[in-house]
């Protein structure tokens, strides 16, 4: 996990404050390697030099390494959503699909995210019992991949998290039939307002169709970008007794 200082010398940070008033523009700092600007897509490339990952620094439990990397991402000012992860699911016919969600907790039992149980991802996790995750922390030139069984968490655990969400998000969970076609933004707004009225001055219970999934850690891979595409990759797999096998280095 060696790093050459906290920032990648190849990255220059621009604050695009002047664009914040344009319709649809989000006022964030954008990361650009100046030399990449205006290049055709096929010429976009970056040589990764931020760090390395060596066999002798790998812990026995990969969760310890995940925690160290997650904390680096969380504490980096250049990582916008450190807990954003893509979750891949597969339909019963074998068609994969992938989208981002937010990691909300992790421990030895697995990684938890929250969603609508009737959404496409919800239906696919329920039907197949499996999911895969990937994090990309660009400023740190790191990727983490997870594969494993996935299932709904206990209702009480979902209740506790739902209770902690801002009121607007709780109303939204009732108002949005996630993944269904809707007539218009106005229809969504009307649905939200009707729910707001319904729950005015009342506690908002967790909708039965909303809650968490836990993706168990069966396979977890750590990737650190290196120069000349000779990246470091180590994968941990569980043995039959559930213990972690020694990590193996994979070709990049
Ligand atoms: C950064 C980011 C975080 C997101 N977090 C969540 C989340 O935690 N839960 C969720 O249901 N959708 C989240 N979404 C929206 C999903 O990507 C997706 O649009 C939605 O869940 C519907 O997916 P589905 O139709 O494949 O089920 C997030 C999107 C982005 C870009």
Within 10 A of 151 (CB to CB), how many other CB atoms are there?
Answer: 15
- Cβ neighbours for 65, distance < 8 A, ≥ 6 positions apart: 1, 58, 59, 222
The answer to whether 153 touches 112, Cβ cutoff 8 Å, is yes
**Long-range pairs of 117-120 with CB within 8 A, sequence gap ≥ 24:** 117/152, 117/209, 117/210, 117/211, 118/177, 118/178, 118/179, 118/209, 119/178, 119/179, 120/89, 120/179
The residues near 119 (Cβ < 8 Å, ≥ 6 apart) are 178, 179
Torsion of CA 170, 174, 175, 180, to 10 degrees: 120
Q: Ligand 1, residues 95, 102, 127: which to mutate, most atoms within 8 A of Cβ? A: 102
Q: Give the ligand 1 atom nearest the CA of 99.
A: 17
Q: Which of 28, 73, 82, 101 to mutate to test the pocket of ligand 1 (most atoms within 8 A of CB)?
A: 101
Ordered per-residue pLDDT tens for the chain, 252 residues: 555 444 443 333 333 333 333 344 334 444 555 578 899 999 999 999 999 999 999 999 999 999 999 999 999 999 999 999 999 999 999 999 999 999 999 999 999 999 999 999 999 999 999 999 999 999 999 999 999 999 999 999 999 999 999 999 999 999 999 999 999 999 999 999 999 999 999 999 999 999 999 999 999 999 999 999 999 999 999 999 999 999 999 999
Residue among 150, 159, 144, 81 nearest 121 (CA): 150
Beta strands in the chain (DSSP E): 2-3, 12-15, 29-32, 51-52, 84-90, 96-102, 105-107, 110-116, 130-137, 142-152, 210-215, 219-224, 232-237, 248-249
pTM value is: 0.88
Q: Give the three-class secondary structure for 89.
A: strand
| Number of domains present in the structure of the chain | 1
Helix (H, G, I), strand (E, B) or coil at 103: coil
- For residue 188, give its domain range: 2-249
Q: Look up the CATH number of the domain holding residue 195.
A: 2.30.110.10
Q: How far is the CA of 101 from the centre of ligand 1 (A)?
A: 5
Residue nearest to atom 7 of ligand 1 (CA): 101
Could you tell me if the CB of 180 is within 6 A of ligand 1? no
Closest ligand 1 atom to residue 89 Cα is 26
Mutate to test the pocket of ligand 1, among 81, 91, 99 (most ligand atoms within 8 A of CB): 99
Q: Is 81 in the pocket of ligand 1 (CB under 6 A)?
A: yes
Cβ(178) – ligand 1 distance below 6 Å? yes
Q: Indicate which residue's Cα is closest to atom 6 of ligand 1.
A: 101
DSSP, res 243: P
**Which residues are catalytic, by number?**
229
Instruction: Convert the pLDDT of each residue in 190-203 to its tens digit.
Output: 999 999 999 999 99
């Amino acid at each position: 996990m060696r790093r050459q200082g906290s920032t990648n010398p190849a990255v220059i940070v621009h604050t695009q404050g002047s664009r914040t008033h344009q319709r649809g523009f989000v006022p964030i700092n954008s990361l650009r390697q100046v030399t990449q600007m205006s290049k055709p897509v096929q010429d976009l490339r970056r040589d990764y030099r931020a760090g390395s990952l060596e066999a002798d620094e790998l812990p026995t439990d990969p969760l310890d390494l995940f925690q160290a990397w997650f904390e680096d991402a969380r504490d980096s000012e250049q990582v916008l959503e450190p807990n954003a992860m893509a979750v891949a699911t597969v339909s019963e016919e074998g068609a994969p699909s992938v989208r981002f969600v937010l990691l909300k907790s992790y421990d030895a039992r697995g990684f938890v995210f929250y969603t609508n149980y009737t959404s496409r991802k919800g239906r696919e996790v329920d039907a197949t019992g499996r999911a895969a995750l990937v994090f990309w922390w660009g400023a740190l030139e790191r990727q983490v991949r997870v594969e494993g069984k996935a299932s709904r968490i206990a209702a009480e655990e979902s209740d506790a998290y739902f209770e902690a969400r801002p009121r607007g998000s709780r109303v939204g969970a009732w108002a949005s039939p996630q993944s269904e076609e809707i007539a218009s933004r106005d229809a969504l707004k009307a649905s939200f307002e009707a729910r707001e009225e319904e729950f005015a001055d009342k506690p908002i219970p967790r909708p039965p169709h909303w809650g968490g999934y836990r993706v168990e850690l069966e396979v977890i891979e750590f990737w650190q970008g290196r120069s000349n595409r000779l990246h470091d990759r180590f994968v941990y797999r569980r043995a039959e007794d559930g213990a972690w096998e020694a990590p193996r280095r994979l070709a990049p």
